[in-house]
């Protein structure tokens, strides 16, 4: 999740804490995102081995949200280039925004579910708190500061 949080929060961090580091993070967000996709390819392989080799009590239906998240990760990775940006136009930004928020939702649901498992409660509280904070900050920096009321 740390790589995802960096990618998800890059533009927010530049707005809140403009510095060489945060600007570099935003500039290189594509590469961080591709690194996230690469690391999740290894993660997907490991999960697949767990399901193939070991007994798992999960219902196949419970794998759908995560499976869709992996699909979004790969669609975003494949379209993370200048050619795709030109071809997709405004749809490129919509696709990547939707993908990032969907992945955020899956992560948040996963960590929130751990809160109710005593052995994973701390992990669940920390993960959920970080993800919710990132979301709130993301919205806060985009919220219009001055709203005019028209009568």
Spans of all domains in the chain: 2-142
3-class DSSP state of 5 = helix
With a threshold of 0.75, does the pTM exceed it?
Answer: yes
Q: DSSP for 65-126, please give it.
A: HHHHHHHHHHHHHHT-SHHHHHHHTHHHHHHHHHHHHHHHHHHHHHHHHHTTSGGGHHHHHH
For residue range 37-74, what is the model confidence (pLDDT) as tens digits? Answer: 999 999 999 988 888 887 766 777 778 998 999 999 99
pLDDT tens digits along 108-134: 999 999 999 999 999 999 999 999 999
**In this structure, what token pair is assigned to residue 55?**
């007994």
pLDDT grade for 25, boundaries at 50, 70 and 90:
very high
């Amino acid at each position: 999740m740390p790589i995802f949080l960096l990618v998800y929060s890059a533009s927010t961090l530049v707005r809140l804490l403009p510095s060489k580091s945060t600007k570099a993070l935003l500039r290189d967000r594509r590469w961080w995102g591709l690194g996230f996709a690469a690391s999740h390819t290894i993660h997907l392989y490991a999960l697949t081995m767990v399901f193939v080799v070991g007994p798992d009590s999960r219902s196949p239906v419970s794998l759908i949200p995560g499976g869709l998240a992996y699909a979004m990760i790969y669609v975003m990775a494949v379209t993370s280039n200048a050619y795709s940006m030109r071809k997709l136009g405004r749809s490129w930004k919509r696709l990547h925004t939707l993908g990032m928020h969907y992945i955020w939702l899956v992560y948040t649901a996963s960590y929130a579910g751990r809160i109710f498992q005593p052995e994973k409660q701390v992990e669940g509280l920390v993960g959920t708190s970080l993800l919710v904070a990132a979301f709130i900050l993301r919205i806060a920096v985009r919220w219009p500061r001055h709203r005019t009321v028209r009568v």
